[in-house]
Amino acid sequence: DTGVSQDPRHKITKRGQNVTFRCDPISEHNRLYWYRQTLGQGPEFLTYFQNEAQLEKSRLLSDRFSAERPKGSFSTLEIQRTEQGDSAMYLCASSSQEYNEQFFGPGTRLTVL
Amino acid sequence: GQNIDQPTEMTATEGAIVQINCTYQTSGFNGLFWYQQHAGEAPTFLSYNVLDGLEEKGRFSSFLSRSKGYSYLLLKELQMKDSASYLCAVSGAGGGNKLTFGTGTQLKVEL
């Protein structure tokens, strides 16, 4: 396992469409995080899973956003009825319970037209 | 709210030493991280401090003072490839394990 992977790497969609992104964490990591990053800013926390349980969601996350991690391995992030303000890089990170370091995937760049 | 401050931009010369400062005011603290991010790429882990003091790792060192809410990243023997954004992040701000990031410091290394 070479690290965290994300799919797709790029997504262009029209306003109002739904999109889904996938993240595969490092295999022995039980913690998984989603962040969003816009140009010139640091990543902003969206949500966090420990195994299959979603333990924390940002208050900034609207009800158009939903995330799952059904078997405690890969995770999906869905955005419904996309808006132009959703355009950003969506980053996934994973960590083990023993060590705090979070390792990031390459990200999915979303452009909403 | 959670507040993490770092300079927006810095410029340094190849071969020199540069120090990037980060101050934080957060409710909750589990540790402080530094990440490097090249344009269009994901952040890569550089260092982690949970106790006060200096952690050295090759050309990179990171310092933490919890009582002052202060950290710095020290880069020695700068190389052109060190031109990147350097992100300071606090774990545990507001509770939990999430990272709360500063806006990043864009470092430009010149000849």
Q: Are B86 and B107 contacting, i.e. CB atoms less than 8 angstroms apart?
A: yes
- And the tokens for B104? 């990043």
Min distance A108 CA to chain B CA atoms (Å): 10
- Answer whether A56 sits within 8 Å of B98, measured CB to CB: yes
**Quick check: B102 and A95 CB within 8 A?**
no
Percent of chain A with pLDDT over 70: 99
Judged by DSSP in three states, B80 sits in helix
CA atoms within 13 A on the CB side of B36: 14
Sheet strands (E) in chain B: 3-5, 9-13, 18-25, 31-37, 44-49, 53-57, 60-65, 70-75, 84-91, 99-101, 105-110
What pLDDT does residue A1 have?
52
Closest Cβ opposite residue B99 in set A41, A102, A107: A102
Q: How far is CA A6 from CA A2, A76, A89, A113, B54, in A?
A: 12, 10, 11, 22, 34
DSSP state of A113: -
Chain B residue nearest residue A6, CA to CA = B42
Give the pLDDT confidence of B41-93 residue by residue, as tens digits: 999 999 999 999 999 999 999 999 999 999 999 999 999 999 999 999 999 88
| Tens of pLDDT, residues A45-66 | 999 999 999 999 998 788 999 9
Across the range B18-30, mean pLDDT stands at: 94
Contact list, B50 vs chain A (CB under 8 Å): 100
Nearest partner of A31 among A73, A89, A60, judged by Cα: A73
